[in-house]
Amino acid sequence: MDTKDLKMNSIDIEHLDLSQTSSKKPRLLASLKEIIIYAIIFIMCVFVLPRYVIQKTIVDGDSMETTLHDKDRLLLDKLTYQFKNPERFDIIVFYPYGKDVDEYYVKRVIGLPEETVQIIGEDIYINGDKLEENYGKDPITYSGIAEEPLTLGDDEFFLLGDNREISLDSRYEEVGLVHRDMIAGHAIVRIWPFDKFGIVK
């Protein structure tokens, strides 16, 4: 092999090394981008979703029977109510004593802002019309503050538990009318027990 051949081989090796190095760079950048994407997803799941979008919560007590039961696990939609008000018959989670107190209730929306609510006997009246309720509930035996016509403000809601014999709800002065900013979110799905998995209504 002459000197010319050696020089050619040396040049070929240099070109090979450079091409291998340049091909590694895109792979490294792709891997780095993938790691960053997974890190962002992780941060969203751990910090952003539970705070602003969706959250798991546990039913504590029997006040929503027979619709919900003690220790049921629910998924709470925290985003929708940022753009619109709760609707009648929505099941919501709210903080009766303010968001600074770590205690929440699960109840059903009955009266909406600027409506007049009254309970006469076992019946609920909204703006003078009897409310038709098509879900499992106990009869009302206590009217509380709704014994007389009760007009709600522009950000107030009247809430009841489905188990009306024991539910501590808007009929009681201790809870009363619930302001919009006290509502944590809309209970949308029961995820446990598994045999009762499904949309909450």
CATH number at residue 112: 2.10.109.10
Per-residue pLDDT of the chain (201 residues; tens, 9 = 90+): 554 444 444 445 445 454 555 566 677 776 777 677 656 665 555 555 555 568 889 999 999 998 999 999 999 999 899 899 999 999 999 998 776 667 899 999 999 999 999 999 999 999 999 999 888 778 899 999 999 999 999 999 999 999 999 999 999 999 999 999 999 999 999 999 999 999 998
pLDDT at 10: 47
3-state secondary structure of 13: helix
pLDDT digits (tens, 9 = 90+) for 110-160: 999 999 999 999 999 999 999 998 887 788 999 999 999 999 999 999 999
Number of domains, the chain? 2
pLDDT attached to residue 134: 83
150 and 187 together in one domain:
yes
117 and 185 together in one domain: yes
Domain that holds residue 45: 1-54
**What pLDDT sits at residue 29?**
73
The angle at the Cα of 17, spanning 21 to 36, to the nearest 5 degrees, equals 10
Specify whether 140 is located in the same domain as 154.
Answer: yes
Q: What are phi and psi of 25, to 5 degrees?
A: -60, -50
CA distance 168 to 124: 17
- Six token digits for residue 68: 């919900």
Active site (catalytic) residues: 63, 107
What pLDDT sits at residue 6?
A: 43
Q: Give the model's pLDDT for residue 17.
A: 52
Q: Does residue 175 share a domain with residue 95?
A: yes
pLDDT for res 43: 57
21 & 65 share domain: no
Shared domain check, 105 and 172: yes
State residue 20's pLDDT score: 54
User: Is the domain of 115 the same as that of 21?
Assistant: no
The per-residue pLDDT for 53 is 67
107 and 138 share one domain: yes
Buried b / exposed e over 74-86, threshold 16 CB at 10 Å, is bbbbbeebeeeeb
Q: Is 99 in the same domain as 167?
A: yes
Say if residues 69 and 59 touch (Cβ distance below 8 Å): yes
What is the structure's pLDDT at 49? 55
Select from 38, 54, 70 the last residue of a domain: 54
* Same domain as 167, residue 153: yes
Report the pLDDT value the prediction gives residue 99, as an integer from 0 to 100: 66
